[in-house]
Structures are given as structure tokens and as C-alpha cells.
Amino acid sequence: MNFFYSIFIVLATSILTSIFSFWRFRTEKCWELKAETYIRIMESLHYIKKSNEASLVRYLDQNYPEYRDDEVIGRISIDSESINNGYEKEKFSKNEIAKIIDVNSFLIKKEALLELKKLQAEYARCPSDKFV
């Protein structure tokens, strides 16, 4: 009889250990997915910002060359690589944000999702190729 109690305790302990380890794995995996999603958002916003800066500098250089001496505008440096790749990276980044809004909306906070939707609506209202 003592033997059956010990087998029951071993089985119960192993089942509980398996359940708790699976729960911990799911929790950690969820945090990894959230972190990866936020990293993708930040990278996309960075590329959009850099492309917009390059577009602004090109627009000011073409139409208002006196602004190049401005302290803030003068610090923005654009090279040929950022000019050539800027629009493609911006387009990819906007598509990435749209994909995150559609697919990963359950991973990010509602406030962040609303701000991304506002940004997406603003870009739809005013296309970025207007000044390129």
C-alpha cells in the first residue's frame, strides 16, 4: 500500500511540474514576442524618420538654400545611400507597421495601437512622395 502512495505522489508531482514549466514557457515566449514586436515598431519608425529628414533636406535645398545654414537643418546629413534607399525603407516600414496593426494587435497595448493607427491614417492622408 505504501508503494502505491509513493507512485501516486511521484505522478502528481511530475504532472504539476510539467504544467508549471509549460505555463512558464508560454509566459516567457509571450514576452519575447512582445519585445520583438516593439523592436520592429521602433525600427520602422526610425526608418520613416530618417526618410522624412532626407526628404525635408532635399526639399529645402531645392527651394530654400538659405535654410542649409540653420543649426538644426545643418546637422542632418544625407548621403547618396540614404537618398537612394530612403524611400524603399520608408515604404517597407509603413508596410511593416500596417502588418503589425493587422496581425500583432493583441501583443501591444491599446494606446500604442491607437497611436500607430493615427500615424497610418496621417500617412494615408499625406503621401510621403509629395516632396521627393
The predicted-structure confidence for 36-88, as pLDDT tens digits, reads as follows 989 999 999 988 888 877 777 777 777 777 766 655 555 565 655 556 667 77
54 inside domain: yes
Please report the pLDDT score of residue 69 as a whole number. Answer: 61
- Rounded CA-CA distance 117/105 in Å is 11
Give CA separation, 39 vs 17, 22, 32, 43, 98, in Å: 33, 26, 11, 6, 15
Range of the domain at 87: 37-130
Is the pLDDT at 93 greater than 80? The verdict is yes
Asked whether residue 131 carries a pLDDT value surpassing 50, the answer given is no
Residue 34 near residue 73 (C-beta atoms within 8 A):
no
Residue 4 in any domain: the answer is: no
Whether residue 12 lies inside any domain: the answer is no
For 113-126, write each residue's pLDDT tens digit.
899 899 888 888 87
User: Is the pLDDT confidence value at 26 over 60?
Assistant: yes
Q: How far, in Å, CA of 5 to CA of 48, rounded? A: 65
Task: Read off the pTM.
Answer: 0.65
Domain count for the chain: 1
Query: Has residue 117 been placed in a domain?
Result: yes
Q: Is residue 108 part of a domain?
A: yes
Per-residue pLDDT band for 132 (boundaries 50, 70, 90) equals: very low
**Is residue 105 very low, low, confident or very high in pLDDT (cuts 50, 70, 90)?**
confident
Within a domain: 7:
no
